[in-house]
Structures are given as C-alpha cells and as structure tokens.
C-alpha cells in the first residue's frame, strides 16, 4: 500500500502524524519554523533569532524538522564550514499556517491577559 493511499488521523494513537505535529507545534519547533519563514539562516543567526533556545535544543529541533521534510540544511565546503537552514516548500506551507496562528495569538493577547487575571482573581491567585 502506498503512503498516499493511507488515511492519517492525528487522533489515533499509532498515527505517525502525531510525531510531526509535535515537532511543528512544540515550543522550539514552532518558533524555528516561524523564524525560517523570514529566510535562510546560519545556525547561530537562527539561535539569536529564536531567543532563549539552547544550542542543543535548536540542533535537535532542526534535525527533527529536517527529517520531517520541513527544513533543508545546506553545508558549504568552506573553512570553517558554513551551514545554512531554510524552509522546504512543505515547510513554507506549514509555516504560513503557523504564523497565522501566531499572529492571532499576538493580536488577542489583551483578551488572554484579561482572562488570566480574572481566572487568578477568582481562584485566589496562581
């Protein structure tokens, strides 16, 4: 059976889409994809753009996203070696949708902060 013939259901325990969804929606995966939507980055440039990510976590995140076909890694044969990361066409499609969600959350943060304050007040603080 071809993979194109398979029906994927992220709500099913054994569905392989769960792992990819986790890579995309995890804290560092989402931020990395969002940053790469801006263009190609070298590792340290990307690390500065995704403020707070450790070198180890960024490396793991990039490996997972590359394996999922969302990120392309290009190593230049220079001394020292130069490695650039950019989105694949699939990565662009995912990042566009992710950035729409990010923009929505940023735009609606006043409502979120109001809801959080009301919740905390009703329950005696955090």
Q: Give the closest residue to 62 by CA, choosing from 48, 88, 89, 43.
A: 43
Q: Which two tokens stand for residue 88?
A: 């694949």
Instruction: Give pLDDT, residue 1.
Output: 41
pTM for the full model?
0.86
Q: In 1-126, which ranges are continuous DSSP H helix?
A: 17-25, 27-36, 43-49, 55-67, 89-107, 109-122
Instruction: Give pLDDT, residue 76.
Output: 87
**Average pLDDT by stretches of 10, the chain with 126 residues:** 69 93 95 96 96 96 98 91 95 96 96 97 81
Instruction: Give pLDDT, residue 124.
Output: 81
């Amino acid at each position: 059976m071809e993979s194109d013939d398979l029906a994927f259901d992220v709500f099913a325990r054994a569905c392989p889409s769960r792992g990819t969804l986790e890579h995309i929606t995890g804290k560092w995966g989402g931020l990395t994809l969002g940053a790469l939507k801006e263009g190609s980055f070298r590792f340290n440039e990307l690390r500065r753009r995704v403020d707070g990510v450790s070198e180890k976590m960024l490396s793991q995140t990039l490996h997972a996203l590359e394996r999922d076909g969302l990120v392309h890694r290009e190593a230049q044969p220079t001394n020292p070696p130069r490695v650039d990361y950019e989105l694949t066409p699939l990565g662009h499609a995912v990042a566009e949708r992710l950035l729409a969600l990010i923009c929505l959350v940023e735009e609606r943060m006043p409502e979120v902060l109001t809801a959080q304050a009301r919740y905390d007040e009703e329950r005696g603080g955090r």
